[in-house]
Structure 1
Amino acid sequence: MLPLRGSGVSIMGILNVTPDSFSGDGAYHDVGCAVERAAALLSEGADIIDIGGESTRPGANPVPVEEELQRVLPVIRAVKEQLSVQVSIDTSKPEVMEAAVSAGASMVNDVYALRRPGALEMAVRLNVPVCLMHMQGTPPNMQTAPAYTDVVREVSHFLSSRVRAGEAAGIARRHLMVDPGFGFGKTFQHNVQLLRGLSGLAAVGTPIVVGVSRKAFVRRLASVEQEDDDQTAQVSAGLALYAVSQGAAVLRVHDVALTRNLVRTWEAMASPPLDDGNAQLYGSLV
């Protein structure tokens, strides 16, 4: 089963256990700190915790398999032992996928969309939900000179092709999600065009995951200063809500409570009429 709520939008809380995360939140490579952060994300309303041990920020260099395993496995085990929450592993390496699922992860989130050698076969064998992301280039070079004729059409075509590849290999469609990959091999204008055209990805036929949280284009879009984390969080949550209005089913975010409250309030107000159940939900948010 996909890690989706029975109704409404699912919130994926980001837990980076890297020393060089693009968002500056990678201080959780200490297991104790990581579990505390996961607990906080869960208490704020996260439906799943996405744990990553390799930075995919622009210019990032690859991390050896063993180093990535040393970063993520102790955290996954500790989170699963101490908290009742689903865990996703953010990796593109088949060895890490296998070990992470064995340690308790129940989903794979792959920025390479299972294109690395052995990744597709491993995903088939693991039989867990997979998120396939679009990225033009690779993290070391993806922002050098990204180019598209029609970014929405090209991203949609790529994701559709990866879904077909997954199905052909033996992954059930019900186990697949797609992520357009905001900030991954895209200019500011590409990101804005892709967000505006997000509803066009519905043709792919799977749930859409959106991660705009703390991305550079978010700050630029709202003219937010680099060091203003509060404003960045607010703008990120606002764009996440816009993504929901365009069909996003899962939001991958750093600021769970802020995003959750916006989305749940919007869901309550968008559900006519405002019955007792919706009124109770709305009342819990104010």
Structure 2
Amino acid sequence: MKIAVTTDSGSGISQQEAKELGITVIPMPFSIDEKTYFEDVNITEDAFYEALKPSATIHTSQPELYTIEEIWQGLLKEYDAIVHIPLTSGLSSTCQSAIMLASDIDEERIQIVDNRKVSFSQKISVLQALKLIDEGKTASEIKELLETNRDDNTIYIGLETLDFLKAGGRLTPAVAAIGSIMKIKPVLTIVEGGHLDTFTRARTKKGIKREIIKALKRDAIEKFNDPEGKDCYFGVAYAGNREEGEVLQMRLLKHFLTVWIILLLLSH
């Protein structure tokens, strides 16, 4: 079978990298002061973070269904099937919308993978899908294999500010205010079901890195039985400050064999 792979920009895969991989990345839309932008299409990373000032009104949304349909219909003229790997259904309605759209078009030829991935883990799923295509797997087999391994990852997210969690409705204003006063920097994780939850807290950026490394070392031993991470992928996604990402990458390399670093435009 000739199989196409599509995903969204929540994977951190740039449009340029998508071309190199031979896949399609559907950009996630968002608005800043009522002007609509699309990740990695009509706004640069620097411009995005420059716009994140306290007075800015920012809203995120999912791609329009007609945009996805147009992309898929075009691909189905050339390919036998499509494997679509969206942002986890626990954080966005994008996945459920894709499932509904696929059933309207052709649910046999369009396989939606809901394996609860986001960011670097979503990107790894895309790379795994490409490998499975090379191995001769069908689209439905790829979906089944990727979903069977939906819990084979852990994600930890360190935040320097609570402002955007408050703006997005994930924190009440009172909790956000208390956190800001006490200078608390939360470390979040993706829990079972693909939802975002608080893992621990720190008071400094160094403390955030320390807590993330500690958690990854424990997971490598207890969850994956792989203390040195020989059979694991470790990735650092950064938001607006590559230097901080590289610092964490270098610290992780002291504990694990290989650590990748990727750009992720974190509007969601």
TM category, shorter: 0.3 to 0.5
TM-score (norm 1): 0.35
TM-score (norm 2): 0.37
Q: As a proportion of its length, which structure holds more helix?
A: 1
